[in-house]
Amino acid sequence: MNYKKLKRRLKKPWLSYDFKKIKAQYDTLYKIRLKEKKDIIGIQKAGRLAVDILNHVEEYIKPGITTNYINSLVEEFTKKNNAISAPLNYNGFPKSVCTSVNNVICHGIPDDTVLEEGDIINIDVTPILEGYYADASKTFFVGSAGKDAKKIVSVARECLQLGILKVKPKNRVGDIGYAIQRYAEGQGCSVVREYVGHGVGFGFHESPQVPHFGKKGQGIQLVPGMVFTIEPMINLGRHNLHVLPDNWTVVTDDGSISAQFEQTVLVTDNGFEILTPFD
C-alpha cells in the first residue's frame, strides 16, 4: 500500500489545536485517551513488531500446514522479541493469534485445521511490547487463488485504504465507515456490522469504536493523538453472520468467503500515520 502517495492527497494541517485542552475533553466526554509523543513511539515499536510477525508467518503459508502451526510461529516469534501476544487468554481466548479461514469472518481459533490449495486465511496479531499494544491483520492466499478469492481480498484491501484516506483532523468516524461501505457495496460485497475498529495502544480495546459503515459527517470528530484500528471485514455475499458454539469463531450465514485487512492508525496534525505499515 503506497501510503506516501495517499498522504499527498490530504489537505493542509489543522493549525488551531490545543492538545492539553482537547485531551482532557476527550477523556471526559468519550473515554478516549489521546496519545503523547512518548506513547506514539512505544506504539510504533509494537506496530513494527506486528508487521514483522505477519511477514515471518507469511513465509510459511502453504497448503498442508495447520492453523495450530501458525499459532506456534506467532508464539515463538513474539517471545523471541520480548513481547506478549495480547489475544492469549483475553476473555478466555485460548490462542496467541486469530486465524480465520474462508467463510470465517474473524476470531478463528487455531486448531488442527489443514490449509488447502485455494483457501484464504486472515491472520490477526496484537503484540504487547514494553506495555504498548499494536493491532494488525492481513488476508493471505494459500497457494493459487481463484476468482472469488482474488476479488474479496482486493476489495477488502481497497476498503482499508479508502478508510485510511478519511483519517484527518475535523473529519468524523462516520466518514471512515461511509467510504468503506460505499466502495464495498459498489463492488457487490457487504460490510460486517457487528465487529468494528477500536482505539488501541494503552490496551487491547479502547474507545472509540470505528464502524466500517455509516454516514458522512456523523460520529466523534477526529483529533490529533487519537490511535485506533481500521479493520473492515468484507463478505463476498451478505453481511449476516453467526458465532459458532466455541463462542469465538464468527462465520458468514450464507457460507460466502470473507476477507479483512487491519492497520493501527494515528491521527496527526495534518492527516494520518500508519503505525503498522505493511505493503
The whole-number pLDDT of residue 12 equals 38
pLDDT single digits (tens) 99-149: 999 999 999 999 999 999 999 999 999 999 999 999 999 999 999 999 999
CA atoms within 13 A on the CB side of 21: 3
| Record: fold of 3-274 | Creatine Amidinohydrolase (3.90.230)
The whole-number pLDDT of residue 79 equals 99
In one-letter notation, the amino acid at residue 97 is V
Neighbours of 163 (CB within 10 A): 26
Give the H/E segment covering residue 24. Answer: helix 19-30
pTM: 0.93
Dihedrals φ, ψ of 248, to 5°?
A: -130, -55
The whole-number pLDDT of residue 279 equals 83
The whole-number pLDDT of residue 17 equals 62
The whole-number pLDDT of residue 13 equals 39
pLDDT single digits (tens) 79-105: 999 999 999 999 999 999 999 999 999
Show Cβ contacts of residue 82 under 8 Å, excluding neighbours closer than 6 positions: 129
| Every domain of the chain and the residues it spans | 3-274
Residue 122 three-state SS? strand
The whole-number pLDDT of residue 14 equals 40
For the chain, which ranges sit under pLDDT 70? Answer: 1-17
